[in-house]
């Protein structure tokens, strides 16, 4: 390391860490490398050190390039805010060592003039996001812009690679390597189970043995101080509100310097925030942060946090990654942690210093979550990580990339195919698949070749593919990226016509009151029948909300949003008009399950705890007693077994299975199982699923039939349900249609917006559903259907996991026919009525509605 | 993979007959979204929007070019079932004026086969004001049968007996069991707005102001298309989107 750097470290009172030096050595040897380090280990500085050293040397040497040295280092972050923050932090050493560097960010917020200037006269270090990189690479000047590139730094790599964004980034990396062959890459990652996967990702693959980047590992930080709240209250059987523990959460916040309160869903965040303020007699500055809130509101909370003005923030995964907040000394995780790695990531948000342990307390909101919290704490203490889901690169992303490359410059299909395959996620892509993607980009990829004359890209006489005209490139730029927002509606506050605005919060005396305090409510009447027709528009936009959430509400229904209780007044175009409501009991819509299913690894640990009474000693007494009761009334399965209970209740016959594979897989299982039961004449009536179990009820007594040998559980749960039944169900599944819509947008089949014409998500939903129906019937092997099926395997349907589970439990199903509900079944039974019930056919909804009409008529 | 594959249509689609009465005349409402006037052996279809998929291609949005085949396959099943003497296509049968130039040969064949041996009437719509060239049938602005008048766009203040399309009604039905959005007939007993039949035709919610303008204070019932029957649902149970 040059002496000026050694001096700089010294003036700061630091000495370079071993992994920082190791990474520098790797870079100086011209190697790509992965740095695995815990939070607080100086990861970012380590990532940039080689670039700074090299740039310092270049600045000292003779300048030969006219008009500046060009772009040297590219930094890619999954979060725009993180890129901005890192740029700011990087200015410090650059300025203090007088390196005279230009360090700039480029995000969606960067002005058009600055963007143009950046292309013409790039900074030496550019910090940006995967989407912006894709845009830069799709422009004709990409070859000159990146020709001087020496290094790419990929931050939070562990978080990026598991998504379609990671696929896009991998393809863009492949292009960068093609433009600047001497370039090396540096990946920065939190601890992961399998670093080799990331090491392959960082370098080009060329068939045969996988190539890997070098690995540099920093020593682990101090062990985290983890505990689970042993509540003095009664632990609920079900639900996710954690309302029982709110007083205890409040006390912990009070005792901490600054706390982050993590929850799994927006609805939970709203509920916890509301309840905390209800008991906030000390007027603690408690704020709310989740992805649906208006961006400016989120920024204000982040800034207040950075300035140390807040006591606590109730947040969702929006703050899992990101900017360091030194003041945070406590992480409170409410609800189930869902995965060992996610928990470690969240814990790391407290005390970003290596030598002090992070402090975190887990608050289970029901009994099963106690088991999950216990399993997660044990895993975290061992430093165990979830195994990532191995996934191949998404086909829709490849389609988008192919078009982007055509926008950059004419390409040769063979060369682009080789380039695509050099990206690790696409290393195994067969040529036919690539050709199908190419055909899709050109004319839609249909067997019926009617669009040839409208082709977006064409192969010319020189054998190169090029775009048909500039409008194609323009359309590409409008549609780049892999993040498809779920259909969202703006939430706009309007003045209620019937209800007056309730008395505002008895203004909190602190300055935070007006900013962060929810409207405190004066109790009282139901706002139910307040819908009065046409509404005035033009109020403030509070944020955005998913359309499927609103589908569960009727006008007049109340819900929590942005810390307030709002009544839905109506929906006009793509806006939900709401007014403040007077109600203490907002209608709680179905818990949307959270985005993260229980990880496979954690599920296995939970099953192990259940199977071993020795391990119950570490559990709260209430829970140990509950499990003990279960062993007397039914049984607890061994770790590899699947317990299925049947029992009668209230005139119905129930079947409850406990796979512990997460809600998504259980919902899919429920759909398929009820189809099979229907065929066997067992007359299933409906089912509910939660993270741990599935309950099906039916007219027939399945238990009695099984006892007589008329029904076999092994047959009921046989793997072959993933065959025809699945195909038939997929045809109608709303989840499949939602999956297809995402693929349609990412691949460019449907434009996010038509140039000059905003197309709202609601209209897109309509048309892609119809497109899906027609395409399925007429070209079931179309590349987009293949892409949607691939997504369904790991996404909303979690088929891969269901399939693994069914295979695992073959011959290991333990059936207990009981005379009444078992203790273990209580939680899932309580979900009935709270959760949407899935029936055989949606037509039953219509039958119900029609019946009402008949009753009224007669 | 042929464009004429019709394999997955259910055999049980036409099961429970459901009647909609318009100006005293009973019409069978088929769950596929058609009306059948038994006395005249008249089958009525609205808003086929043939070649809607290909209409986007010039803008380089490549929707599957199979919507015409899919729509005609459904018409073929209805014709086979009802054996109508005449078929009325209630306007917007073609998505745009140049649709006839783009329609695939196999689909023209299907259309010819459908027209053989029966009267086929193309009512003019706003998407297809002129009769399609070379695609058979006869064209007219509206068609009358007894008290019934068939036209594309419903007229405010029309006398009882109007059967029209144009608005593509859909109903969002909400009950304790859940919520769904489906195409529907909208009828108050004096007039009926038919659902769009075309595979790629979108929908307009029954609560939209366009319907209240049309029906005034006479709130129409929704006759919602289910999988194998039509379900009458009171307007009160239909919600906005």
User: pLDDT (tens digit, 9 = 90+) per residue, B84-123?
Assistant: 999 999 999 999 999 989 999 999 999 999 999 999 999 9
Residues A718 and A740 in one domain: no
Pairwise CA distance, residues A382 & A387, whole Å: 15
Helix A395-408 to helix A164-179 angle (10° resolution) is: 30
Mean pLDDT of A372-398: 86
The residue whose two tokens read 């459908």 is B114
**Angle formed at CA B53 by CA B49 and CA B57, multiple of 5 degrees:** 130
Residues A194 and A45 in one domain: yes
For residue range A46-57, list pLDDT tens digits in order.
999 999 999 988
In a domain, A610, yes or no: no
Pairwise CA distance, residues A653 & B44, whole Å: 46
Is the per-residue pLDDT at A525 higher than 50? Answer: no
Is A194:A40 a contact under the CB 8 Å cutoff? Answer: no
| Nearest residue in chain A measured CA to CA from B51 | A450
Contacts of residue B174 in chain A, CB cutoff 8 Å?
A: 554
Beta strand pairing call for A359-363 and A330-334: parallel
For residue A39, the enclosing domain spans 3-217
Chain B nearest-CA distance from A530, in A, is 15
| Nearest residue in chain B measured CA to CA from A444 | B62
Token representation of residue B104: 């695939």
Residues A660 and A808 in one domain: yes
Radius of gyration of chain A (CA): 28
Interface test with B, best of A759, A845, A855, A858 (most B CBs within 10 A): A845
Residues A208 and A264 in one domain: no
Domain end residue (candidates: A217, A238, A272): A217
Token representation of residue A74: 């590219």
In a domain, A411, yes or no: yes
Pairwise CA distance, residues B112 & B135, whole Å: 8
For residue range A443-495, list pLDDT tens digits in order.
999 998 889 999 999 999 999 999 999 999 998 998 888 876 555 677 888 87
Is A450:B104 a contact under the CB 8 Å cutoff? Answer: yes
Token representation of residue A126: 């550019």
Residues A163 and A42 in one domain: yes
Is the per-residue pLDDT at A614 higher than 80? Answer: yes
Chain B nearest-CA distance from A691, in A, is 21
In a domain, A587, yes or no: no
In a domain, A298, yes or no: yes
Token representation of residue A27: 């870079």
Is the per-residue pLDDT at A501 higher than 80? Answer: no
Domain end residue (candidates: A382, A411, A439): A382
Residues A67 and A153 in one domain: yes
Residues A544 and A403 in one domain: no
| ipTM score for this prediction | 0.88
For residue range A627-641, list pLDDT tens digits in order.
999 999 999 999 889
Is A656:A644 a contact under the CB 8 Å cutoff? Answer: yes
CATH number (domain holding residue A286): 3.40.50.300
DSSP alpha helices (H): ranges in A110-265? 112-120, 130-137, 142-145, 157-160, 164-179, 195-202, 246-255
Banded model confidence at residue A612, pLDDT cuts 50, 70, 90: very high
In a domain, A389, yes or no: no
A218 vs A61 pLDDT, higher one: A218
Q: Which domains does chain B have, with CATH numbers?
A: 18-239 (3.60.21)
Q: Give the other-Cβ count within 10 Å of A600's Cβ.
A: 20
Residues A87 and A18 in one domain: yes
In a domain, A388, yes or no: no
User: Is the C-alpha dihedral spanning A714, A719, A720, A725 positive or negative?
Assistant: positive
| Nearest residue in chain A measured CA to CA from B6 | A777
Distances from the Cα of B140 to the Cαs of A196, A534, B137, B157, in angstroms? 71, 39, 10, 22
For residue range A106-151, list pLDDT tens digits in order.
988 888 999 999 999 999 999 999 999 999 999 999 999 999 999 9
Token representation of residue B192: 């009926």
Residues A838 and A718 in one domain: yes
- Per-residue pLDDT at B81: 96
Banded model confidence at residue A166, pLDDT cuts 50, 70, 90: very high
- Contact B66/A448, CB-based, under 8 Å? yes
Exposed / middle / buried, residue B219 (Cβ in 10 Å: 0-12, 13-18, 19+) = middle
Is A595:A333 a contact under the CB 8 Å cutoff? Answer: no
| Nearest residue in chain A measured CA to CA from B203 | A766
Residues A828 and A772 in one domain: no
Highest mean predicted confidence (pLDDT) among A652-666, B69-83, B212-226: B69-83
Contacts of residue A555 in chain B, CB cutoff 8 Å?
A: 239-240
Pairwise CA distance, residues A323 & A81, whole Å: 8
Banded model confidence at residue A834, pLDDT cuts 50, 70, 90: low
Pairwise CA distance, residues A17 & A26, whole Å: 15
Q: How many domains does chain A have?
A: 5
- Nearest of A511, A638, A524 to residue A582 by alpha carbon: A524
Residues A404 and A463 in one domain: yes
In a domain, A390, yes or no: no
User: Is the C-alpha dihedral spanning A322, A323, A324, A329 positive or negative?
Assistant: negative
Contacts of residue B200 in chain A, CB cutoff 8 Å?
A: 767, 770-771, 774
Is the per-residue pLDDT at A760 higher than 90? Answer: no
Exposed / middle / buried, residue A341 (Cβ in 10 Å: 0-12, 13-18, 19+) = buried
Token representation of residue A32: 């790509």
Tell me what the pLDDT averaged over chain A comes to.
Answer: 83
| Per-window interface: B 9-38 vs A, CB < 8 A | none
The answer to which of A168-177, A411-420, A477-486 has the lowest mean pLDDT is A477-486
Residues A161 and A210 in one domain: yes
In a domain, A448, yes or no: yes
Domain end residue (candidates: A533, A557, A580): A580
Chain A nearest-CA distance from B171, in A, is 11
- Per-residue pLDDT at A188: 94
Does B77 contact chain A (CB < 8 Å)? no
- Per-residue pLDDT at A550: 63
């Amino acid at each position: 390391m040059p002496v000026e750097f050694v001096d700089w470290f010294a003036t700061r009172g630091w000495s370079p860490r071993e992994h920082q030096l190791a990474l520098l050595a790797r870079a100086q040897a011209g190697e790509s490398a992965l740095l695995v380090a815990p939070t607080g280990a100086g990861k970012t500085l380590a990532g940039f050190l080689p670039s700074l050293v090299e740039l310092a040397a270049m600045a000292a040497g003779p300048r030969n390039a006219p008009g500046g040295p060009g772009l040297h280092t590219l930094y890619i972050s999954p979060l725009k805010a993180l890129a901005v923050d890192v740029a700011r932090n990087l200015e410090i050493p650059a300025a203090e060592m007088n390196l005279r560097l230009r360090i700039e960010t480029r995000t969606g917020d960067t002005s058009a003039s600055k963007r143009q200037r950046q292309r013409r006269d790039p900074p030496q270090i550019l910090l940006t996001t995967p989407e912006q990189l894709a845009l830069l690479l799709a422009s004709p000047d990409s070859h000159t812009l990146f020709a001087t590139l020496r290094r790419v730094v990929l931050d939070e790599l562990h978080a990026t690679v598991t998504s379609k964004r990671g696929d896009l980034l991998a393809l863009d990396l492949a292009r960068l390597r093609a433009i600047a062959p001497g370039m090396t890459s540096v990946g920065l990652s939190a601890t992961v189970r399998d670093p080799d996967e990331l090491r392959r990702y960082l370098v080009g693959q060329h068939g045969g043995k996988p190539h890997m980047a070098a690995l540099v590992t920093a020593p682990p930080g101090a062990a985290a101080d983890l505990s689970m709240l042993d509540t003095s209250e009664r632990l609920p059987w079900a639900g996710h509100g954690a309302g029982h523990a709110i007083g205890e959460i409040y006390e912990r916040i009070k005792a901490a310097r600054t706390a982050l309160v993590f929850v799994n869903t927006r609805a939970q965040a709203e509920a916890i925030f509301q309840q905390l303020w209800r008991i906030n007699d000390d007027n603690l500055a408690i704020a709310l942060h989740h992805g649906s809130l208006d961006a400016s509101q989120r920024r204000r909370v982040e800034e207040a946090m950075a300035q140390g003005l807040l006591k606590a923030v109730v947040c969702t995964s929006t703050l899992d990654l990101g900017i360091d907040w030194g003041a945070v000394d406590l992480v409170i995780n409410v609800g189930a942690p869902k995965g060992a790695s996610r928990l470690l990531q969240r814990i790391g948000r407290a005390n970003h210093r290596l030598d002090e342990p992070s402090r975190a307390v887990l608050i289970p909101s029901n009994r099963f979550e106690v088991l999950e919290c216990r399993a997660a704490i044990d895993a975290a203490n061992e430093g165990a990580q979830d195994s990532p889901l191995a996934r191949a690169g998404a086909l829709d992303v490849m389609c988008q990339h192919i078009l982007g490359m055509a926008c950059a410059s004419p390409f040769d299909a063979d060369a682009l195919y080789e380039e695509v395959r050099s990206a690790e996620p696409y290393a195994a892509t067969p040529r036919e698949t690539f050709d199908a993607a190419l055909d899709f980009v050109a004319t839609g990829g249909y067997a019926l070749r009617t669009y040839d004359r409208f082709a977006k890209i064409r192969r010319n006489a020189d054998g190169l593919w090029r775009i048909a005209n500039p409008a194609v490139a323009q359309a590409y730029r409008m549609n780049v990226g892999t993040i498809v927002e779920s259909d969202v509606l703006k939430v706009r506050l309007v003045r209620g016509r019937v209800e007056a605005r309730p008395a505002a919060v008895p203004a909190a005396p602190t300055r935070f009151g007006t900013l962060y305090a929810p409207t405190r409510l004066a109790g009282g009447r139901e706002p139910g029948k307040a819908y009065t027709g046409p509404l005035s528009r033009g109020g403030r936009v509070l944020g955005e909300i998913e359309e499927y959430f609103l589908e569960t509400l009727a006008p007049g229904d109340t819900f929590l949003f942005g810390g307030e209780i709002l009544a839905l007044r109506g929906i006009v175009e793509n806006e939900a008009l709401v007014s403040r409501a007077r109600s203490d009991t907002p209608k709680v819509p179905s818990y949307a399950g959270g985005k993260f299913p229980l990880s496979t690894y954690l599920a296995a640990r939970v099953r192990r705890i259940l199977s071993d009474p020795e391990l119950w000693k570490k559990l709260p007494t209430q829970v140990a007693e509950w499990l003990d009761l279960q062993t007397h009334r039914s049984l607890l399965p061994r770790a590899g077994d699947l317990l299925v209970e049947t029992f009668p209740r209230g005139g119905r016959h129930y079947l409850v299975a406990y796979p512990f594979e997460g809600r998504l897989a259980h919902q899919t299982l429920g759909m398929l199982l009820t189809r099979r039961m229907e065929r066997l004449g067992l007359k299933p009536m409906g089912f509910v699923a939660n993270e741990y179990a599935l309950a099906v009820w039916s007219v027939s007594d399945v238990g009695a039939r099984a006892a007589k040998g008329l029904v076999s559980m092994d047959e009921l749960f046989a793997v072959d349900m993933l065959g025809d039944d699945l195909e038939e169900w997929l045809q109608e599944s709303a989840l499949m249609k939602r999956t297809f819509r995402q693929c349609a947008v990412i691949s460019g089949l449907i434009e996010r917006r038509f140039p000059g014409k905003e197309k709202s998500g609601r209209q897109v939903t309509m048309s892609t559903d119809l497109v899906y129906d027609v395409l399925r019937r007429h070209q079931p092997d179309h590349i987009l259907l293949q892409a949607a099926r691939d997504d369904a395997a790991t996404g909303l349907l979690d088929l891969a996991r269901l399939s693994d589970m069914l295979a695992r439990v073959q011959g290991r199903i333990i059936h207990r026919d009981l005379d009444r509900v078992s203790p273990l079944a209580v939680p899932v039974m309580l979900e009935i009525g709270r959760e949407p019930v899935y029936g055989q056919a949606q037509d039953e909804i219509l039958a119900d509605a029609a019946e009402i009409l008949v009753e009224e008529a007669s | 993979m042929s464009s004429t594959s019709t394999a997955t249509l259910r055999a049980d689609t036409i099961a429970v007959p459901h009647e909609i009465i318009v100006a005293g005349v009973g019409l069978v409402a088929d769950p596929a979204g058609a009306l059948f006037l038994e006395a005249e052996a008249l089958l009525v279809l609205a808003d086929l929007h043939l070649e809607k998929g290909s209409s986007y291609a010039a803008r380089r949005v490549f929707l599957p070019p199979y919507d015409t085949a899919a729509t005609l396959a459904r018409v073929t099943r209805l014709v086979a079932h009802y054996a109508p003497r005449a078929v009325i296509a209630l306007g917007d049968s073609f998505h745009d004026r140049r649709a006839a130039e783009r329609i695939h040969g196999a689909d023209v064949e299907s259309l010819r086969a459908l027209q053989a041996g029966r009267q086929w009437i193309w009512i003019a719509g706003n998407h297809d004001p002129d009769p399609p060239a070379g695609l058979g049938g006869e064209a007219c602005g509206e068609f009358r049968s007894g008290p019934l008048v068939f036209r594309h766009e419903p007229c405010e203040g029309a006398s009882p007996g109007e059967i029209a399309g144009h608005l593509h009604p859909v109903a969002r039905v909400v009950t304790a069991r859940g919520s769904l959005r489906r195409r529907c007939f909208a009828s108050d007993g004096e007039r009926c707005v038919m659902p769009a039949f075309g595979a790629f035709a979108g929908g307009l919610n029954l609560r939209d102001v366009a319907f209240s303008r049309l029906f005034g204070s006479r709130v129409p019932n929704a006759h919602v298309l289910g999988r194998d029957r039509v379900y009458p649902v009171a307007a009160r149970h239909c919600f906005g989107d």
